């Protein structure tokens, strides 16, 4: 379906229903607007007893629910992993397609295409370190890539691999990518998999195990037989290794942590008190909300934040960084006091000393559903789990007192900073940019962000030292991680980083140099 076959499909449906034949209509998700006509036709059919209708479709939000409800549904999900992906590809190719023309380079290039396609698809299991988002790489991309390679090897032409790179990047696989970082990854894959130098030395390099395109155990067959390539695929391990994608070993544990968090989040949704949250039940509210109220009381013991009076920041001649710190402290204290007022009202309702109001009702419903109230998130977009949110707010509010004290005696930039102590670290970096522009007497647009892991930035007018940075699911250069994923931490600390805004140096022809 999807290629003007609607009328032919209806005619074939009527014929098969009369004769008792079996009919399969594929890819109905491509013709969702036509499906009401199919439903109407099914309702008026008087089919033969042996007639069977098979429908295939991918998940689509506009697929008619009535058609789904009237069908026996079977859900099929392709098994994950590079090995299964490659086997599906070579099951869809015929021996004649692989051995066409007797060209060894062509057969090996098709294997590289199959591996490249599998890597692009299976790398989606490592979001956000692998790809930043889920891209719909599909069988149509593989078919288009096959056609490109098939035509390039016709009549013994010299293959221009730059042409292959351009088509796969701009028109096929890269046409789905909208992130610059992901596009650089795709370009790197294309240069590795599709090059004359790689195909001429692929067998020897992988036999030594020092290549970074295929695993060491992969040796490209020196034949055009599809059976030889399937044999190579069968020898692959069942479980993918991050090294197959050019990723560090600890990304596997990071991926498992993300999946576990998603499962826990789904379980929380299933266990929500949706029905009971719509009405007041003193006993239920007391039992379910006491942990949150007790946590808030414990977090603020010995603290003056709840009763501290802070005037709104006044417009003055402060430096941009100091103005940001003062405003950050004001917003932190105001957020703390707003949260305290809302939880205090909730506590009074539970104790029976205050009437239930719509605001308290909404607050209690959100907390019963293990959700962070929208009134809190509007003031600061933090963790979605209420208890984590409360801990994060108090921790940052207490840290802001130290920031204000150090900024007041102009000792802030000389100390190592932890940006996780701020509610809005991106705004702090913008304030640093504005202050740097003032000190240099230039526009903010002429500054670029620079960082260094080894030594201070010599060309920086103002710079900060940032500590407490961590990498998850990746590796820092110079820090050895075990190849065994079970002995590699998913989150690792990195050295102190120097950050600053530096002036661009103009070059000829309108280009710039940092």
Domains of the chain: 6-69 (3.40.50.300), 82-247 (1.10.8.720), 249-273+416-514 (no CATH), 279-412 (no CATH)
End-to-end CA distance of the chain: 54
Instruction: Say what the pTM is.
Output: 0.66
Phi, psi dihedral angles at 493 (to 5 degrees): -80, 155
Exposed (0-12), middle (13-18) or buried (19+): which is 274, by Cβ within 10 Å?
exposed
Rounded to 10°, the helix 358-368/320-351 angle is: 90
CA-wise closest residue to 299 among 251, 343, 363: 343
The strand pairing partners of 25, in sequence order, are 55
Which two three-digit tokens encode residue 95?
């021996």
Are the C-beta atoms of residues 368 and 276 closer than 8 Å to each other? Answer: yes
Q: Tell me the mean pLDDT per 10 residues along the chain, length 514.
A: 82 92 88 88 89 87 85 81 92 90 88 93 89 89 91 75 90 90 93 78 44 65 90 88 84 81 77 56 86 92 83 76 91 93 93 89 88 91 91 93 87 88 93 92 90 86 88 67 53 84 65 46
For residue 246, what are the contacts with CB-CB under 8 A and spacing of at least 6? 188, 212
SS3 for 57-108, per residue? CCCCCCCCHHHHHCCCCCCCCCCCCHHHHHHHHHHHCCHHHHHHHHCHHHHH
Are the C-beta atoms of residues 239 and 81 closer than 8 Å to each other? Answer: yes
The dihedral of CA 158, 161, 166, 168: what is its sign? positive
The strand pairing partners of 22, in sequence order, are 52
Q: Which residue has the tokens 């930043």?
A: 132
Distance, CA of 355 to CA of 63 (rounded, Å): 47
DSSP strand pairing (463-466 vs 416-417): parallel
Distance, CA of 35 to CA of 29 (rounded, Å): 9
Distance, CA of 294 to CA of 148 (rounded, Å): 65
Per-residue confidence (pLDDT) for residue 471, from 0 to 100: 80
Q: How many residues belong to the chain? A: 514
SS3 for 432-467, per residue? HHHHHHHHHCCCHHHEEEEEECCCCCCCCCCEEEEC
Which two three-digit tokens encode residue 329?
């402290």
Per-residue confidence (pLDDT) for residue 246, from 0 to 100: 85
Are the C-beta atoms of residues 453 and 497 closer than 8 Å to each other? Answer: yes
The DSSP annotation for 146-171 comes to HHHHHHHTGGGPPP-HHHHHHHIIII
């Amino acid at each position: 379906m999807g290629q003007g076959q609607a009328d032919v499909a209806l005619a074939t449906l009527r014929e098969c229903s009369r004769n008792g034949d079996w009919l399969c209509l594929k890819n109905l998700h491509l013709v969702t607007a036509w499906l009401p006509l199919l439903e109407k036709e099914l309702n008026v059919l008087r089919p033969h007893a042996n007639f069977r209708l098979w429908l295939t479709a991918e998940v689509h939000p506009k697929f008619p629910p009535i058609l789904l409800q009237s069908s026996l549904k079977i859900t099929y999900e392709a098994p994950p992993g590079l090995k299964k992906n490659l086997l599906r590809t070579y099951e869809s190719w015929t021996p004649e397609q692989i051995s066409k023309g007797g060209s060894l380079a062509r057969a090996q290039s098709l294997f590289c295409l199959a591996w490249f396609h599998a890597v692009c698809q299976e790398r989606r299991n490592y979001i956000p370190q692998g790809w930043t988002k889920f891209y719909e790489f599909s069988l149509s991309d593989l078919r288009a890539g096959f056609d490109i390679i098939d035509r390039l090897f016709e009549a013994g032409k010299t293959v221009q691999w730059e042409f292959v790179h351009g088509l796969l990047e701009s028109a096929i696989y890269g046409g789905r990518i909208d992130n610059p970082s992901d596009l650089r990854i795709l370009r790197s894959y294309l240069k590795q998999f599709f090059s004359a130098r790689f195909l001429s030395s692929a067998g020897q390099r992988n036999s030594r195990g020092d290549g970074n395109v295929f695993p060491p155990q992969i040796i490209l067959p020196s034949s055009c037989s599809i059976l030889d390539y399937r044999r190579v695929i069968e020898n692959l391990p069942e479980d993918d290794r991050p090294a197959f994608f050019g990723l560090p070993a600890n990304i596997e544990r990071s991926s498992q942590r993300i999946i576990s968090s998603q499962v826990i989040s789904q379980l929380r949704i299933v266990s929500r008190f949706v029905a009971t949250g719509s009405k007041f039940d003193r006993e239920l509210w007391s039992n379910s909300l006491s942990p949150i109220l007790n946590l808030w009381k414990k977090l603020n013991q010995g603290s003056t934040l709840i009763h501290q009076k802070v005037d709104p920041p006044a417009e003055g001649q402060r430096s941009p960084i100091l103005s940001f710190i003062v405003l950050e402290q004001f917003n932190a204290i105001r957020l703390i006091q707003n949260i305290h007022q809302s939880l205090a009202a909730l506590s009074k309702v539970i104790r029976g000393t205050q009437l239930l109001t719509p605001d308290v009702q909404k607050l209690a419903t959100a907390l019963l559903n293990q959700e962070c109230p929208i009134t809190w998130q509007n003031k600061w977009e933090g963790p979605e789990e209420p208890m984590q949110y409360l801990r994060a707010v108090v921790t940052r509010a207490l840290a802001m007192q130290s920031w204000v004290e150090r900024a007041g005696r102009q000792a802030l930039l000389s100390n190592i900073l932890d940006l996780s102590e701020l509610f809005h670290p991106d705004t702090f970096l913008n304030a640093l940019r504005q202050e740097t522009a003032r000190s240099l007497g230039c526009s903010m647009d002429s500054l670029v962000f620079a960082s260094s892991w080894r030594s201070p930035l010599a060309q920086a007018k103002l710079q900060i030292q940032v500590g407490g940075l961590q990498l998850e699911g990746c590796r820092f250069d110079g820090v050895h991680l075990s190849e065994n994923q079970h002995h590699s931490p998913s989150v690792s600390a990195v050295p102190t980083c120097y950050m600053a805004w530096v002036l661009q140096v103009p070059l000829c022809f309108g280009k710039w140099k940092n």
